[in-house]
Amino acid sequence: MIPKQHNSDKLVIQLLAGGISHERDISLKSARRVADALTEQGATVIIREPDGHLLEYIETDKPDVIWPVLHGATGEDGALRDILALTGVPFIGAGAEAARLAWDKSIAKTLVSRIGIQTPVSVTLPKEAFRELDASEILKIVSNSIALPLVVKPARSGSAQGVTVVRDVNELSKAMIDAYVYCDVVIIERLVEGIELAVSVIDLGAGAIALPAVEIEPVAGNFGFEERYTAGETNYFVPARMTAGLSERVAKVAIDAHELLGLRHMSRIDMIVDESETIWFLEANVQPGLTETSLLPLSVLAAKQTLGETYYSLAVAAHRGRG
Amino acid sequence: MTQEKHEQQGLNLDQWLGAYAARANTLSVSEVRALFAVVSRPEVVSLAGGMPYVSALPKELLSQTYSTLMSTRGDAALQYGSGQGDPILRDQIRELMALEGIHSSVEDLIITTGSQHGLDLLSGLFLDEGDVVLAEAPSYVGAIGIFRHYEAHIEHVYTDDDGMSPEALQESIDKMLAAGRKIKFLYLVPNFGNPSGVTLSEPRRHQILEICRKHHILVIEDNPYGLLYFDEKPPLAMRSYNEDGVIYLGSFSKILAPGFRVGYVLAPPAIRDKMVLANESALLCPSSFSQMMISEYLATADWQKQIDTFRGVYRERRDAALQAMHDYLPGVRTTQPKGGFYLWLTLPKGIDSKAMLPLAVKELVAYTPGTAFFGNGSGQDNLRISFSYPTPDNIKLGIKRLATVINLQTELLDTFGPKGGRE
């Protein structure tokens, strides 16, 4: 790395990236992009692994702000955020409690539905449930009560890892296994066909605002792992092709979900809009991806902002205890 | 809702999407590859990558080599060199190959950027779209990547504990010829194969060479592990029995260090000429610095003793791996390699090693799923364990964790019935 001269007027920002997670690779890619953008703003940026030396790194680097650019467990499940809070160093993103609620899709769905946000009908099945109950019977009841097609997904996971769209009931068992290898709790959800949207929410201290929605149209098939991280595999429409009225409703759902879940500084709310223009909440992302193919950066650019200014503003907001 | 939907052009993050060659479609990111990112964390025992244990190489020896090289041939080492490779190193390689029964002219050797590059050059020379490459079942993942990139059809040939079956080879050839396919070459790793760990027996070497001679099929013999035997030397190289029909690939990656990226190809003169031109087109020349470092090392160091040291290290690790397999996974079949880096496991029926990998990552162990070693999607119930890099204690820990993973996956399969696993 080319050493940058420290600009004493600018913040020292420690990025935590990597970790032991299925999304480690994505986290490292996100962090390198964030570091580039922040460095262009004059910030001093240090990338660290969240390992056994974490407290030592914090002591040595003396960051003004920490940004846990971590995807997946520990980074998004609140555990690390609890520890960061104890250090007293301000950090970007949701606090531990909000992260715990939002990271678990089944909890997030339950909470947002309480304020009237629609979310596809689903069943949450911990692996332990099958120790006492007969799996084939349960799956039969589930597939009868929630009509096909279904989406089977780990309750706590990201980047579409372990997610299967089930259109034939015979595929359900395999889909369950493919989800359980990522997480001990699995959600079976009714597949809502429609326009897939990702709405990024930013809060710099003056209230949460929704950035232009990204409409996702994979070139072929689902918006799976490869479609997310291979440039060219997906077409994006930013802002999404919607009427002004629908666009406002979509933004409101995103902001409401962000605020209800207690998220902070930034989040990404994924949803589907069906043919009747019903907006269905799918999940909230505590630390959205920030790679070159990720959705939050697309929204920032569509809002005529630069990534550097936006990311630096998030750091300033965290440093001042705002957002 | 979307009045203008069909009139708008979406944003595609690859603006050159329409410009790629068709073969670029063989290159894409994969979830499995992303999962391997965790192996750089010390908490994870990686039994995945086939990395040589370079810590067993005394660094002061290489420092000395570097100093001598700079003071004697420094300018040449920092300059462009011959497209065929350094003649002094080529001469030294003859001595190395003689250990495996090969006698050759220095003229017929080409230095490449690792033998991987040699195989890529050969594939570029020989393969058109749809051409057939015959390969072991399973075969080296890096070779499969190259053959796919050149849009070849990979026809895997049944392989058992004595290596590729000559009868199965004959059947595959008959099948391909009957289908009107053009067979370009047979590719194999006859000694301590990657990933199988098995060695092609001497009688089979002769039988396979005879079958290929009869059908005028070129043999590419890839031999990175031949000198890393634990007890007995493997049979002589296939190239030692046939000069015109075998192209031999060698490498310094396993007997010295892969960081140099130096390999070599021994080819019949007509092919050699084209290889040199292809090498020059691709690179101008292989790294002069790396070649001369190796040349100096071979000239001044006791390199045979160093290979002995590597053998000892890998033998101990192989023993640890087999013991751990016996202790923790007694029901899982493994090959019993007599050299090289790898064990090839056959899992209980129904377990898909690729689908199981996320669970392994959760349990802090990594391996390479068997499907990586086939061009046709086979190998779901296999996986490769590499014992070359982790310490014996870590190998035991890794295999113990793997046993936990297999048990958890078996539980899932039991819970969700026969349709839960591989259909």
Summarised one tens digit per residue, pLDDT across range B10-47 is: 888 888 888 999 888 888 776 677 778 888 889 999 99
Which residue among A25, A232, A273 sits closest to B34, beta carbon to beta carbon?
Answer: A25
Q: Which token pair is B384? A: 């490769």
What residues of A are in contact with residue B361 (Cβ under 8 Å)? Answer: 20, 22
Please give, rounded to a whole number of angstroms, the shortest distance from the CA of B285 to a CA of chain A.
29
d(CA A242, CA A253): 15
Please give, rounded to a whole number of angstroms, the shortest distance from the CA of A17 to a CA of chain B.
12
Q: Which token pair is A58? A: 């914090």
Measuring CA to CA, which residue among B397, B354, B358 is closest to residue A21? Answer: B358
Which helix (H) or strand (E) segment holds residue B274: the answer is: helix B269-283
- What is residue A234's predicted lDDT score, i.e. its pLDDT? 86
For chain A, say whether B60 makes contact (Cβ under 8 Å): no
d(CA A11, CA A46): 11
Please give, rounded to a whole number of angstroms, the shortest distance from the CA of A173 to a CA of chain B.
5
Unique residue bearing structure tokens 């199981």 = B356
Please give, rounded to a whole number of angstroms, the shortest distance from the CA of B350 to a CA of chain A.
11
What residues of A are in contact with residue B409 (Cβ under 8 Å)? Answer: 177, 181
- What is residue A201's predicted lDDT score, i.e. its pLDDT? 98
Asked whether the beta carbons of residue B34 and residue A229 sit closer than 8 angstroms, the reply is yes
Please give, rounded to a whole number of angstroms, the shortest distance from the CA of B321 to a CA of chain A.
25
- Give every residue of chain B whose pLDDT is below 70, as ranges: 1-9, 30-31, 418-423
Q: Which token pair is A254? A: 């995103």
Asked whether the beta carbons of residue B356 and residue A176 sit closer than 8 angstroms, the reply is no
Which residue among B4, B43, B416 sits closest to A20, beta carbon to beta carbon?
Answer: B43
Query: Residue A95: which residues within 8 A CB-CB, separation 6 or more?
Result: A78, A81, A85, A262, A264
Measuring CA to CA, which residue among B30, B279, B22 is closest to residue B149? Answer: B22
Distance from the first to the final alpha carbon of chain A: 32
Confidence band, pLDDT 50/70/90 cuts, at residue A322: low
Asked if the model's pLDDT at residue A73 lies above 80, the reply is: no
What residues of A are in contact with residue B34 (Cβ under 8 Å)? Answer: 22-26, 225, 229
- What is residue A253's predicted lDDT score, i.e. its pLDDT? 98
Asked if the model's pLDDT at residue A262 lies above 80, the reply is: yes
Please give, rounded to a whole number of angstroms, the shortest distance from the CA of B36 to a CA of chain A.
8
What residues of A are in contact with residue B358 (Cβ under 8 Å)? Answer: 22, 161-162, 181-182
For chain A, say whether B13 makes contact (Cβ under 8 Å): yes
Name the residue of chain B whose CA is nearest to A184's CA. B359
Whether the CB-CB separation of A239 and A199 falls below 8 Å is answered with: no
Please give, rounded to a whole number of angstroms, the shortest distance from the CA of B396 to a CA of chain A.
21
What residues of A are in contact with residue B19 (Cβ under 8 Å)? Answer: none
Please give, rounded to a whole number of angstroms, the shortest distance from the CA of A285 to a CA of chain B.
20
Asked whether the beta carbons of residue A176 and residue B30 sit closer than 8 angstroms, the reply is no
Which residue among B11, B43, B409 sits closest to A238, beta carbon to beta carbon?
Answer: B11
d(CA A214, CA B151): 36
Asked whether the beta carbons of residue A177 and residue B43 sit closer than 8 angstroms, the reply is no
- What is residue A218's predicted lDDT score, i.e. its pLDDT? 82
**How many helical (H) and strand (E) elements, i.e. helices and strands, does chain A have?**
12, 13
Residues A283-312, mean pLDDT to the nearest whole number? 95
What residues of B are in contact with residue A177 (Cβ under 8 Å)? Answer: 355, 409, 412-413, 416, 420-421
Q: How far is CA A270 from CA A101, A263, B299, B364, in A?
A: 16, 14, 63, 30
Asked whether the beta carbons of residue A177 and residue B30 sit closer than 8 angstroms, the reply is no
Whether the CB-CB separation of A323 and A314 falls below 8 Å is answered with: yes
Asked whether the beta carbons of residue A23 and residue B8 sit closer than 8 angstroms, the reply is no
The widest CA-to-CA distance across chain B, in whole angstroms, is 77
Structure pTM?
Answer: 0.91
- What is residue A255's predicted lDDT score, i.e. its pLDDT? 98
- What is residue B421's predicted lDDT score, i.e. its pLDDT? 43
Q: How far is CA A292 from CA A34, A66, B163, in A?
A: 10, 22, 45
For chain A, say whether B43 makes contact (Cβ under 8 Å): yes
Mean pLDDT over each residue of chain A, to the nearest integer: 92
What residues of B are in contact with residue A174 (Cβ under 8 Å)? Answer: 416, 419-421, 423
Percent of chain A clearing pLDDT 90 (strictly above): 76
Name the residue of chain A whose CA is nearest to B38's CA. A20
d(CA B371, CA A122): 34
Asked whether the beta carbons of residue A234 and residue B13 sit closer than 8 angstroms, the reply is yes
- Phi then psi for residue B368, to 5 deg, are -105, 120
Which residue among B1, B40, B423 sits closest to A277, beta carbon to beta carbon?
Answer: B1
Whether the CB-CB separation of B264 and B90 falls below 8 Å is answered with: yes
Region of B396 please: left (phi>0), alpha (psi -120 to 50) or beta. Answer: alpha
Asked whether the beta carbons of residue A176 and residue B409 sit closer than 8 angstroms, the reply is no
